[in-house]
Amino acid sequence: MTNHGSITQRRVATNGIALNIAEQGSGPLVILLHGFPESWYSWRHQFEPIANAGFHVVAPDMRGYGKSDKPADISAYNQVEVVNDIIGLISALGHETAIVIGHDWGAPTAWSTALFHPDKVSAVGALSVPFSPRPEAPPLDTLKAIFKDMFFYQLYFQAPGVAEAELEQNVKQSLRKFYHMASGDIDIADFTPRPADADLLSDTPDPGKLGPWCSEEDLEFYTAEFSASGFRGPLNYYRNHNLTWQLTEGAPRQITQPAMFMAGQKDGVIMMAAEALKAMDKNVPNQVLHELIPDCGHWTQQEAPDAVNKGILKFLEQVS
């Protein structure tokens, strides 16, 4: 068990693997799910406010990340398995139910925990990625049709080993470029489409340092984590779009629990998911909170911790 201020860490067995969790506080369970390429640490600003409000707040390193187990098989990273990790965690931590909130990849996982396990997830929240019901066609096929002659990162991530080699060549520089590229510190309008055979980061300028939301010490933490764990597990999430689609045939199309959604106004995901955002009122009818944060990019809870904490606490007050 290791300490990070009042946050403690330990490994917990769930769904046939062990997840490293960071936790603080006691009371009803709030689980925070991180995205790509991050860590429990991306929620560092949320622990204390949520714990002080009377909750047991837990953020796992998702499977494939940090000090959590990293199954070798690519298909082990489909969303059904990832959701089962989180549902198993609820009872492993001695709770009957949880409020689950996710960011980036953690958002679809959070939505899916609520969708498939309404008895276990009493309320649900997401940052950055709005809820989308299961599409008619396999997602990768759709992406290939949309981006046939253009570079798109999720398609570049498909061939095992390719993105790993690029990202792992210089972990710190890769993370710095990637984090900067998706942050509110740059203007998305400046992006120009690139050819399909481009790589992820060669054309991306290295900012040298990140905005105040990610200090040199924060970047060092992430660099150490990914230098130890590599990028294979994290990238495998993208390689399971179609398998997850196959495994979830007949999925419910509406989230009925009380829900919250927050995103940065400068988040590129909001532009990509414009249709899903428009349909949220229909697909998630019980939204207690829906907020876009000005001047904030993709790394919502790190770039705008005060706004996010205020939103989460307001949400928790209304649903518990």
* Catalytically annotated residues: 104, 298
Secondary structure element (H or E) that encloses residue 288, with its range: strand 287-293
- The SS3 call for residue 76 is helix
Q: Quote the tokens at residue 135.
A: 């599409």
| Whether 298 contacts 182, CB under 8 Å | yes
Secondary structure element (H or E) that encloses residue 172, with its range: helix 171-181
- Please confirm whether the linkage preceding 205 is cis (ω < 30° from 0): no
Q: How far is CA 217 from CA 73, 166, 262, 291, in A?
A: 33, 23, 27, 30
What DSSP assignment string belongs to 202-255?
TTSPP-SS--TTS-HHHHHHHHHHHHHH-SHHHHHTGGGHHHHHHHTTT--S--
Question: What is the residue whose two structure tokens read 């045939």?
Answer: 249
Strands 121-127 and 259-264: parallel
Within the chain, how many helices (H) and strands (E) appear? 15, 9
- Nearest-angstrom CA–CA distance, 232 and 64: 7
HSE, CB side, 13 Å, CA atoms: give it for residue 16.
7
Question: Helix, strand, coil % (nearest 5) of the chain?
Answer: 40, 20, 40
